[in-house]
Structure 1
Amino acid sequence: MALKYIDEFRDGNLARTLLAKLKTRCSGQSPMRFMEICGTHTVAIFRSGLRPLLPATVELISGPGCPVCVTAAEDIDKAIWFASQPNTIVATFGDLLRVPGSRTSLAQQRAQGADVRMVYSATDAVTLAQENPDKEVVFIGIGFETTAPTVAAAVTIADRQGIENFSVFSVHKLLPPAMETLLSSRDLQLDGFLCPGHVTTVIGAKAYEDVAARYRMPCVVTGFEPLDILHGLWMLVQQRLSGEARVDVQYRRGVSWKGNTAAQRLLAQVFRSANAVWRGLGAIAHSGLAFREEWARFDATRRFAVPMLSVREDPACRCGDVLRGTLAPPQCPLFRRVCTPQNPKGPCMVSSEGTCGAYFKYAYDGPNLDLEERY
């Protein structure tokens, strides 16, 4: 049975046609470097074996598109600190459990008796608070604009139901400010962005207008199937070679220009933009989300007296450089030698959207298969 919006984007013949057009258009041109800033794109690119099929003049760079990976080491340590508090349940998405902090991880804390629970949504954490009225439930709010509105919704639910033992440690991140930080770096030269489909369903393609205009940077919002990505690259190449710089939407079946205005309103109701620290990128103005004053009672950092923590990172781990796009995972001295999915030294190897994990799982597992064999 054919699956709408999936099978038609995995057509091997169409893929070969697009690749042939790309190779013809790029023949004799200078190298072009495009960054995908979505972890789901990174995994999709590796899983479908697209990289070695592209023209030699088209290079793909993986960026800071994994929300768990870009969470600062200090914030990981704070999440672990919450788990050490008495009568406290820490609720988190699964990817965060095994991310190493300075001395331990949430998974290790759980093994030692801490009450750390994996949930699938922020509303699951609200339910935990209802079911455990004698305990404080802290939800670790990690994610980009895709998941942040669902956390805002959970907060409003807790408010309506009068749940007083629920709070959120907000370490959400906003992508457009990070894109500007990348473009301001002297270490990285880019020719365009493959913009994230999931995030853009919420914020709308208009969110990248300033980036495209100010930095003369082509931007294309792309879906996640192989033909989505190839079509998005074709659109980027066309822009770059014609000297244009605008925001195009390839992923029209999921993304509009204005985005999900209801989700945007909900987000703005509960949160405000705030400065945030990103792993690998440092402090970026207005790139995080903090509670508005009228919702501050749900802010875990206000409910608990969080101490100043002494953060310690493994100096050999190059996850920050990988997130900036200035280093490929195999160039890290720990990659595959010490750092593996079973023994991760950094979040880029832990997360299902991490670049190191994608390299480990897909880039070295046997020969590249033809697209028609894969699908």
Structure 2
Amino acid sequence: MAEQPTSPSPAFDNPSSRLTAALRDPQLCRSLLDRLQAALDGRSLRFMEVCGTHTVSIFQSGLRSLLPEQVRHLSGPGCPVCVTHDAEVAAFLDLAGRDGIILATFGDLLRVPGPGGKSLKHAKAQGARVEIVYSPLDALTLAAEHPGDMVVFLGIGFETTAPTVAATILTARQRGLDNFCVLSLHKLVPPALRALLDDPQQQEQPIEAFLLPGHVSTILGLAPYAFLAEEYRVPAVVGGFEPADILLALCLMAEQRRDGQAEVVNAYARAVDDGGNPRARALLDQCFQPADALWRGIGRIPQSGLALRDGFARFDAMRRLDMRLPDVPPLPGCRCGQVLKGRLTPPQCPLFGKACTPATPVGPCMVSTEGSCAAYFKYARNEDN
């Protein structure tokens, strides 16, 4: 007896699910791989993605094993936990040791090792008041519930998350919550890309194209990346996260190189407007101003961070709690910095898969679910590098 057709499940029978399925279609992906091979025409393509979600998507989908051998995939500084500097982790631990302080943080930061291999997880086990939150607004709830304590939100991340922190600060001001502040260690993506291209070491094996971050670009749009094409003649494509999205972005990069062109292209128009999100940027401009920032493995990059404006000084943990980022030595043996610059792949680190695993991470690239080392360990541990 023939099997009776069944109705598609509600989860699948919606536009989002149908689109996702289409962008994972093997036949579509094969046609894009053929297009990529033709565009390469024997040339190499060393591309760098600078988004942790792209890192995981490329590995999880198996794309790395399907790409032509001339294509070299580099993971850049696109994981917010991974680029958090040793000195910043030391500052977290200093705060955790102070009386009357409650730290509010996203979960990934809990396990990032600092000086001596200690982390916020260790500090919490020893009695520090460290609370995991899922939104900056959760920190305001903590502040309201603990009026006798200072709640410090650890503000890390890129342009994607910073507007929500700005909105939280404005809400705290409106509600008169004087026992809430933010340790703003947010990072800005475009200055980091410039720093990578200016690094003399990159000239030996240059980055030939960028897969630009989809989430960050929903805020920024295209204009902040224009210098990549105009000054450095490096093609750059904003891409989505499904296999066909990524393959299309690679095709556009390879075709630009074949044709001697360099442009910033939006290949993720269903989510990213060329002009970005003006309301989110207005929130950023209202609360923050650009400032120098430390990046793990890269060092201090001018105007690559966000500091609170003077009008919001009472919400600035640096000023409110008289903080300074200490000078600390790098983690012994950890090569996360070289990985974040595309100078090494994780298996080339002598600690990878030995002293450093997801269960016992030595560096942050193995801690975060979006970290290159964690992705290699889970999906490509036995790759020949």
**TM-score (structure 2 length as normaliser):** 0.93
Deviation for aligned residue 1:352: 1.1
- Match of 2:164, as an amino acid? T
Question: Which of the numbers 39, 49, 56 marks the counterpart of 1:43?
Answer: 56
- Equivalent residues in 2 for 1:327-342 (5 A)? 327-342=344-359
* Counterpart residue identity of residue 297, structure 1: R
Pick from 141, 147, 164 the counterpart of residue 150 of structure 1: 164
The 1:159–1:190 alpha-carbon spacing in structure 2 relative to 1, beyond 3 Å, is same
Superposition pairs of residues 1-375 of structure 1, within 5 angstroms: 1-2=12-13, 3-27=17-41, 29-103=42-116, 104-188=118-202, 189-306=206-323, 309-364=326-381
What is the deviation of 1:26?
A: 2.1
Secondary structure at the counterpart of residue 148 of structure 2: coil
TM-aligned CA deviation for residue 95 of structure 1: 0.8
Structure 1 portions without partners, runs of 5+: 367-375
Report if aligned partners of 2:100, 2:148 keep a CA contact under 8 Å in 1.
yes
Question: Cα–Cα, structure 1 residues 307 and 182, in superposed 2: closer, same or farther, change >3 Å?
Answer: closer
TM-score by length of 1: 0.95
- Alpha carbons of structure 1 residues 310 and 182: separation in structure 2 relative to 1, 3 Å: closer
Cα deviation for residue 206 of structure 1 reads: 1.6
Shift of 1:4: 4.0
Equivalent in the alignment of 1:371 = none
C-alpha contact 2:81 2:364 (8 A) present in aligned 1: yes
Q: Is the 8 A contact 2:40 2:255 kept in 1?
A: no
Once the 2 structures are TM-superposed, how far is the Cα of residue 210 of structure 1 from its aligned partner?
1.6
Q: Deviations over 1:304-350 (max 9, x none)?
A: 13366352332311000000000010010100010000100000000
Number of aligned residue pairs: 365
Measured against aligned partners, the alpha-carbon deviations of 1:217-260 in whole angstroms (never above 9, x if no partner) come to 10100001111000110111111111111111110000011100
Q: Report the alpha carbon displacement of residue 61 of structure 1 after superposing the two structures with TM.
A: 0.8
* C-alpha distance in 2 between matches for 1:354 and 1:219: 22
Q: Residues 110-155 of structure 1: CA distance to partner in whole angstroms, max 9, x if unpaired?
A: 0111110111111111111111111110000000000000000000
Cα distance in 2, alignment partners of residues 307 and 202 from structure 1: 30
Structure 2 residue ranges without an equivalent (≥5)? 1-11
Query: 8 Å contact 2:96–2:123 — kept in the other structure?
Result: yes
Contact 2:318/2:324 (8 A) holds in 1:
no
**1:70 and 1:19, CA in 2 relative to 1: closer, same or farther beyond 3 A?**
same
What is the rounded CA distance, in whole Å, between the counterparts of 2:276 and 2:235 in structure 1?
19
Give the Cα separation in 2 of the matches to 1:116 and 1:313. 24
Between 1:191-200 and 1:308-317, the stretch displaced more is 308-317
State percent identity of aligned pairs.
52
Q: Which amino acid aligns with 1:162?
A: G
Compared CA separation, residues 271 and 4, structure 1 to 2 (3 A): farther
Query: What is the identity, as a one-letter code, of the residue corresponding to 2:318?
Result: T
* Contact 1:141-1:172 at 8 Å conserved across structures: yes
| CA contact 1:228–1:250 (8 Å) conserved in 2 | yes
Structure 1 stretches of at least 4 aligned residues deviating more than 3 Å after TM superposition: 307-310
Equivalent position SS for 1:352: coil
